[in-house]
Amino acid sequence: MKKIKLSYICSDCGTNFPRWHGHCNICGMWNTISEIKLAKPSNHSKQKSSSKTENKIQILSDINLHKLPRLKSGFKELDRVLGGGIVPGATILIGGNPGTGKSTLLLQMISMLSEKTTALYVTGEESLQQIAMRASRLKLHKKHLKMLSETNITKICEIAKKEQLQVMIIDSIQVMRITELQSSPGSITQVRESAMALTHYAKQNNVTVFIVGHVTKDGTLAGPKILEHIVDCSILLDSSADSRFRMLRSKKNRFGAINELGVFSMTSYGLQEVHNPSAIFLSKEKEDIPGSSIMVLWEGTRPLLIEVQALVNRAQANNPRRISVGLEQNRLSLLLTILHKHADLEIINQDVFVNVVGGVKITETSADLAILIALLSSFKNKSLPKDTIIFGEVGLAGEIRPVPSGQERLKEASKHGFKKAIIPSANVQKNTTYSLKTYSVKKLSEAIKIIDKL
């Protein structure tokens, strides 16, 4: 009898080891290495060797790009996150917490797609009746919607091959299984082998496969970082606490930019696109409030206006509190030290709270200046005019550094009716088409003077 081959894989970084260790010496994590049983030559590897398409060396410039028109999903927000539409033959992983709306999004998408393409929705979690009920409630076109309730990957691929599909949805990878493998569905072995089989199927038949993957409590994809290595695109559907808004963000994309953001709102008619997300992140408050400033973040390929709020108050205990939501704690400490040193502000003995409105997470340094000014505004209890936007990176010497795409950020602000902008002097351009009074600054001290005068 053939011995089953074992391997050990780190669920955090995906490294293979010949034997078990408690500590992964590649990514440094503990207790992340688990045993996987390697599949006996599985169906997909057999298919590979018996592939009818002949592979020969080609010159890159001779490759016909027109063979790859992208499909439109029906959701502009989703298309943008995918880099301009669905690429044929790609495998796309959609991750997210339970209940964020992954199944709803894909059901709505397939109902729009099935009018012009052949698409199949494979469900392993919900029954066909449940999906039919949801589709009726959402008033989706059901006429051409092909559904399959199955969890056996080999069978799914066999059935799908007969259908000449263009798009297939697998909901979800955690319940799929390959019967030759001993381990239970959801285990690393099953998830990895199922995803590999689906990827082979997608590439050989030029079918786009959407794979739904659940996210564990700590926000990583259950089972596998490994999944992210296998697929072409990995996108995450995220919801901020008690919010009806859902953010779709690409984490890996072989066909477009990453960190692209798509915004949806969950309504009683399913997910609706939010085409102008800046409007939802800005408060409708007409009055100027101390401790608030508006910045322009660059999200993927477009600017986004976002409000940041700060509260600075005398510490009640010896150990002042520093709490930030949507901003990295270390960045806040750094900004506070800059403020203390270069603005001569006695902020060390103050409690400091920073909140980025709308559950947005700041990953850019262009938000520095706006955060500093919000802190200052709260400390001095002096509000900024509501029609002012601020962006710029702040260096350790208190210098204001330029940020990429300055002109696009200003244009977006002007489009939303903002009248003034405090920006790095290196971002100022002579010929501009928008009406926005710009105050250019080189140092933090200059910015503070301008605010006092505003």
Which residues are annotated binding-site positions?
96-103
How many Å apart are CA 106 and CA 96, to the nearest integer? 13
Residue 450 CB neighbours (<10 A): 15
Q: How far is the CB of 137 from ligand TYD (least distance, A)?
A: 6
Among 266, 304, 369, 451, binds ligand TYD (CB under 6 A): 266
- Contact between 104 and ligand TYD by CB under 6 A: the answer reads yes
Residue 124 or 398: the one with the smaller Cβ distance to ligand TYD is: 124
- Kindly state the tokens that stand for 120: 């199949």
Q: Which two tokens stand for residue 182?
A: 């001993």
H-assigned helices in 343-380: 368-380
Q: Which tokens belong to 270?
A: 């399913």
- Please report whether residue 124 would count as binding ligand TYD according to CB under 6 A: no
Does 411 engage in binding with ligand TYD (CB under 6 A)?
A: no
* Residue number, 9 or 221, with CB nearest to ligand TYD: 221
Binding segment for ligand TYD (CB under 6 A), chosen from 101-109, 184-192, 275-283, 382-390, is: 101-109
The nearest distance, CB 211 to ligand TYD, in angstroms, is 13
Measure Cα distances from 417 to 24, 278, 282, 308 in Å.
53, 12, 12, 18
Quote the least distance from Cβ 110 to Mg ion, whole Å.
13
Question: What span, in angstroms and rounded, lies between the C-alpha atoms of 154 and 160?
Answer: 10
**Out of 112, 138, 280, 289, which residue is the one contacting ligand TYD (CB under 6 A)?**
138
**What is the chain's Cα-based Rg?**
26
Nearest distance from C-beta of residue 212 to ligand TYD, angstroms: 7
Give the Cα separation of 297 and 146 in Å (integer): 41
Site residues for Mg ion, 87-116, by CB under 5 A, read 103
Sole window of 95-103, 228-236, 249-257, 360-368 interacting with ligand TYD (rule: CB under 6 A): 95-103
Question: What residues are designated binding site for ATP?
Answer: 96-103
- Would you count residue 73 as binding Mg ion (CB under 5 A)? no
Residue 96 found at the interface with ligand TYD (CB under 6 A): yes
Q: Of all residues in this chain, which one has the CB nearest to Mg ion in the complex? A: 103
CA dist., res. 187 & res. 290, Å (int): 52
Name the burial class of residue 433, with classes exposed (0-12), middle (13-18) and buried (19+) by CB atoms within 10 angstroms of its CB. Answer: exposed
Task: Report the length, in residues, of the chain.
Answer: 454
Residue 435 has a CB neighbour count (10 Å cut-off) of: 7
Considering only residues 267 through 286, tell me which ones interact with ligand TYD, judged by CB under 6 A: 268-270
**Is the separation of the CB atoms in 73 and 106 below 8 Å?**
no
Residue from 80, 102, 192, 246 in contact with ligand TYD (CB under 6 A) = 102
Instruction: Please enumerate in sequence order all residues whose Cβ is within 8 A of that of 49, keeping only pairs 6 or more positions apart, or say none.
Output: none
Q: Does 98 bind ligand TYD (CB under 6 A)?
A: yes
- Binding residue for ligand TYD (CB under 6 A) from 14, 89, 95, 101? 101
Q: Which residues bind ligand TYD (CB under 6 A)?
A: 96, 98-104, 134, 138, 266, 268-270
